Each structure stands twice: as C-alpha cells, then as structure tokens.
Structure 1
C-alpha cells in the first residue's frame, strides 16, 4: 500500500517534518510492508521555509537583520535547488514567536527585518521570491519591509517616520527607491488570511489584540492603516483599491504593503505550497493519505490546508485520514469535507504543557491505530 504523509505543523510541539517522522514510526508498527512517502506541508506560517527548502533540495543562507523590536538577530532565507527561487518565512524575522509575551507591542513592532531578508535574497540574483507571511508580530502595513527596500515614509515636515504602526496616521508622503532591488523579481505571497486591510474584519480589529493591542490602540491602528491606503492611492505610488483585496490585512497589513510597494501577487498559502512541492504528481501513486495539524476546526473546512488536501484527493478517490491535537469540528462537517477518518491524538484529560511535550509519542500511537483501523476494515 502506498501511503502519502501530508501533515501541517502541530503548533507549539511538532514541525510538519517531525510529524511525518512520528507518523512513519506508527505506520511501520501497524503495517511494516507499507510504502511511505513523507511530504511535510505548510499554509504559509511556521514551517513554510523548511518545507519548501527540503522539497526542492535547496540550501539556507543566513542574514544579519532585525527582529520586530529592531534588535539585531540572525535569520535565514532559502534557495531552491535549481537556484531560481528564494523562500522567505516572514516569522523568522518579524514573527510573534521572537518576542516574550510582555514584549508584544502591536504599535511599536516592524516588518523591517522581513525587508532585509528580501533584499539579501534579491541581490543574490534570484528571479522569483516566495514569502510565507503567517505568525506576524506587527501591524505596520508593511512600511517596515518597504523601508528596508529603500522606500521612505515622511511626515508633513519631510522627516522620515519610524517604520512602525504608530507612525501610520502621520505619514504625509511616500517616496520610492531610485534603484529598487526587486526590479525584475517576481514576488508571490502565500497566505490563507483573507482579511481586508482595515475595518471590522481587517488587520487591526481581528489580529492586533493577540499582538498586545488594547481597545484604543486597535482603533488607532485601524485608522492608521486606512490613512496609509489613502496616501498610497493619492501619491506617485498610484495604486488604488488594494486595501480590499483578500489578504491585504494579512500579517498586520504586510499583504497590502507587498502588493503596493513591491507589486507582489497573493496566493492561498496551502494551494501554493502544494503546487511548489509537486503534490499532484505524488497523488498519482497514493492509495491513502494521512494528514494532521494541531487543531482541526471549522477553519479547516474553509479552504485551509486539510480542506484543500481533501479537494485534491476526492476526484482521485483517495481516502484521507486526519490526526490532530484538538478535534473541534462536527462529524457531519468532517465527512462533508471528505475525510474518511478523523481523531484527536489525545486519549484522555491532560494539561497543555504535557500535551505539547508528549505530542510526538501521541501522534505515533494515533498513526498506528489509524492505519490498523484502515487495514482491518479493508479486509
């Protein structure tokens, strides 16, 4: 039996690669003769860089850059095995995971480090750059990223503004770089967030509270993002209506900034990753798919990774089994999604630290029982 392993990360405990390893061990115990192909996946968030570098047999490059609070750090970007494409995981330079909870500051954090990673990749000579923008610590509308690439954001007195969310309401003029590093580079952004830039469903109201913003700060950031869109539309940047495109509000407005300042194209993250790792080719031989993620809920039913995987498997009549840390979707909806089997890897009450610490062993055991069940009911 040909089994394709295609999990996402289990947030806080297992990367998608580690999840594949645990699944493989469990399957080997239940069905030693299985032929297993491991394909770690990502939707643009944590694990995005590792997934694509490994899938393309690429290499990593280290860069001295800055974290969300402009402290010096070292981060990596990836290069595909054929040397044509750069992969960047925004969270490695501008992610919330780089900060302690007491350091969360939605108005004072920046995507500047992401721009530094982009510049380093671009000057290397690559012709295509693919960014995953999940896990952001920022709400700066992408002005930090743009400033690192040579853009200048000035107040009414012509002074350069700090590239943080608190500066957004005071931006009076925007000045492009004379020789942009991104000229001639195709930029594609992977994000499964469909939020607009501002408004009740936008970057500030929906996402900035988890980045440390209080009620008044959320309102200020939303007003700042709306102001940024207005300045962009009336200045020499000359691009309008981007603020309402799905994904403009992703990563605190970085989706908008990448479109407005770099001419980037946004793509659904899971769909893009599946395309880049060659999923369709592997599905031709797969007889069974084992997938999983940290939490299987209603979002998984709305075009997220497992939902898109089921969409791929359905016309090929490939059963999909899903294992997750938390199972929070109605059985009828899971069946409608196309899953043949879904279960939590937790077998009893357990506190969160223990669940995270023991996730590998629990996923191994759950994989054993899932494959045992499948093989038994096939007989």
Structure 2
C-alpha cells in the first residue's frame, strides 16, 4: 500500500485548498483504491490561511466584520478567534485582489480594510495576532492598514493622503504616535514571499504588473515606496528593521508597514506547516503531492509548493506538482512529476471553469505514472 500526502495550497479565486486536495485524492483513488491518502491542506499567508487555521484548531470561532474593500465599497469578511486568545486576520479577504473581481485598481486600491479588521480583532479581545498578508490588491506600502490603526500620513499641505498608491506618491509626512498598541502577545505576520520593499526584487517591480501597473507605473511606484520608507524610518526611529528586510515587500509593502508597527515577519508556509503537522505526515509518506494555481518564477520565494518540496526532500520523500498553470520559465526540477490543469483541460478557460474536474484528472494521471 502506498501512502500519499496531499499538501496543496488554494488555487486562487478558483478552488480552496481543502477542495483541491479532495479532488486530487478522488482522482488518485479511482485508480489505486487501496492506497492511504492523507490530506494536509496548506496555506502561506495568502488566500485560505484563515480556513487552514479554522480546520486545524478545535474551538476556533469566526467573527464577522464589515470593512472598506480595495474598491472602497463595504466588504463582508471575518477574522478568527482561537481558544488561546489569538486573533487571525487575513488580508486576502479584506484587501485582496480577488475582492476586486478582476477589476484592477493599481493606483487606488489600498489596505485600509485589512487595518479595520485588525482593529476589530483587537476590540474583540485578541491577545495576540497572526496576520496573513498574501494576495493583496494594492501597492500602498501598508499605508491604508496603518491609517486604520491610528497612524497619520499627510501630503505637503498637511491633508490626509488619498487611498492607495496615489496617496503614497503624495505623502510628505508620517506620524506614528497615534498607532494602536500591539496586543500583549504581539503580532506575527505570515508572509508568502521574501522580497524587500524596493528595487528590482521589490514590491512594485515584481508584483506591480499583476496588480495593473505598466512599466512607467512600476518605476513611479518604486520611487514612491522608497520615499515612504524614508519617512516611516524617520517616524519609527532606528529600531525599524528597514525596507531591505526579507518580506518587507510582501502585499505591496504591507510587510514593511507592519514592521513599523512592531510586528514580526515569518515565512507563512512554515507556520501553517507546523500547525497542521506536515512534517509528521511527510515522514511516513511514499509520495507528497503539492500545488497551487499558478506555478512560476516567483513560486520558489516562499510559496507553498517550494516549501513542501523542501520538507519532503529533507525526509527523503519524492514530491509531485499539480498547478493550474506552469509557466514556461518555472523550474520544476524539484518535482518527480508535474501536471498542469491548463494542459489537461486544453485551455486556461476550461480548467478555471471546472477546476475540481481537472484536479481529479491530475490525480488520476499521477497515480498511473508516479
């Protein structure tokens, strides 16, 4: 009997991590019914992080909250209260790119809703915070989030800056004196990338285009974030870790802003893996299957598949990859086999229309070949 561990991330905007794992399991068992297939849905701080904590921790309670979305409209979301008093807040459901429904707002989307949800968790009694910051819609340097928590960002005339990157570009002063205090247990930020705030690997250069920035916009955004970094560093004092800190560029620079608040940045995949007992599951496996919606050249920088592959390799276990699409420039050498739903379905449109069907097909294909 073969033991297979399924540790997939969500396929962003398409199917949850749990449902994706279940579909691959069904495909595998359709050919190898006697195998032991273990589900360990993963997350890395982006979409699905709240669900991963809710599924893994008995007694976790969802607390609904209405926040200002990245389109400035009221958005229904939730934060999670764990039995030990930890509040879990996910940026993707409050200020995420999926909230926009495909309508990008590169200059105007912001993170104020994420900050509002954090404030709600503090008001709701959270004694510690775990903040997932993947899948953002904006490149606002976390200005919106800090504003919702009491910071003040003003333009040259002393007026509050506009939401989003447009406001970052006009910021002339930063006052952090009004920031709410961290909860007694502090704040842990789960980042799905290790990029710095600025430069060729920074928030604007790497992630700006997927949020709608053109080439000129990327240059302008990077310059605006660099100016913001200097202003925040002056306001925060020498203790601020700085814009070069790994993960500072996560979520359009929200990682940098949360550092200014005093939070600690950690790789999200590692925290979730510890929570769900991934190492113990992998140790007894013959094969691990991981995946995500789009596997590309960014996936090695803290995303779930790369992390899972490393954990499996450390245990001497082979890993296979399933992804909605596998980019031409992606390095898949860490995987024994790789399957793209786009290739199986014949097109991206077909795979997105029924991801569960093609995930089952991927599970079936892997069961025959791995």
TM-score by length of 1: 0.87
Indicate how the Cα distance of structure 1 residues 251 and 175 shifts in structure 2: closer, same or farther if over 3 A, else same.
Answer: same
**Could you tell me how far apart the structure 1 residues matched to 2:356 and 2:275 are?**
27
Can you list the C-alpha shifts for 1:175-214, whole angstroms capped at 9, x where unaligned?
2355724242421222232222223332223322332334
- 1:234 Cα deviation after fit: 2.2
CA pair 349-65 structure 1, distance change in 2 beyond 3 A: closer
CA contact (8 A) 2:154 2:160 kept: yes
Give the 3-state SS of the residue equivalent to 2:64 in structure 1: strand
Aligned to 1:20: 21
Contact 1:112 1:146 in 2 (8 A): yes
1:22: how far off? 0.6
Match of 2:289 in 1: 290
Q: Which residue number corresponds to residue 213 of structure 1? A: 213
| Cα shift at 1:281 | 2.7
1:371/1:88 CA distance change after superposition, 3 Å: same
Given that 2:138 and 2:252 are in contact with CA atoms closer than 8 Å, whether structure 1 keeps it comes out as yes
* CA–CA distance in structure 2, aligned partners of residues 281 and 240 of structure 1: 37
Question: Deviation at 1:358?
Answer: 2.9
Q: Contact 1:8/1:305 (CA < 8 Å) preserved in 2? A: yes
Q: How does 1:197-212 map to 2 (within 5 A)?
A: 197-212=197-212
Question: What does 1:89-168 align with in structure 2 at a 5 Å threshold?
Answer: 89-101=90-102, 103-168=103-168
Aligned residue pairs, count:
368
Distance 1:290 1:241 in 2: 36
Distance 1:217 1:15, change over 3 A: same
- Structure 2 Cα separation of the partners of residues 345 and 100 of structure 1: 22
Tell me what 2:360 maps to. Answer: 364
In 1, Cα distance between equivalents of 2:183 and 2:329: 48
Report the alpha carbon displacement of residue 259 of structure 1 after superposing the two structures with TM: 0.5
Identify the residue that residue 33 of structure 1 maps to in structure 2: 34
What is aligned with 2:61? Answer: 59
Matches of 1:112 and 1:303, distance apart in 2: 25
Partner of 1:45: 46
- Do the aligned partners of 1:193 and 1:250 also contact (CA within 8 Å) in 2? yes
More divergent stretch after superposition (342-351 vs 5-14)? 342-351
Q: CA deviation at 1:369?
A: 3.4
The answer to whether the Cα contact below 8 Å between 1:300 and 1:307 also exists between their aligned partners in 2 is yes
Aligned to 2:320, what secondary structure does the other structure show?
Answer: strand
User: Using the alignment, how far apart are the partners of 1:134 and 1:236 within structure 2?
Assistant: 24
**8 A Cα contact 2:203 2:222, kept in partner:** yes
Q: Does the 8 A contact of 1:296 with 1:329 survive in 2?
A: no
| C-alpha contact (below 8 Å) 1:122/1:185 kept by paired residues | no
Asked if structure 1 preserves the Cα contact closer than 8 Å seen for 2:64 and 2:78, the reply is yes
Which residue in 2 is equivalent to 1:74?
76
Output the CA distance in 2 between the equivalents of 1:315 and 1:218.
Answer: 38
Q: Can you give the 5+ residue segments of structure 2 that lack an aligned partner in the other structure?
A: none
Does 1:263 pair with 2:265? no
Q: Is the 8 A contact 1:147 1:163 kept in 2?
A: no
Equivalent-residue separation in structure 2 for 1:192 and 1:130 (angstroms): 14
Instruction: Out of 285-294 and 127-136, give the one that drifted further.
Output: 285-294
Q: Structure 1 pair 214/364, CA: closer, same or farther in 2 (3 Å)?
A: closer
The 1:106/1:287 distance shift into structure 2, 3 A limit, reads: same
Q: Which has the larger radius of gyration?
A: 1
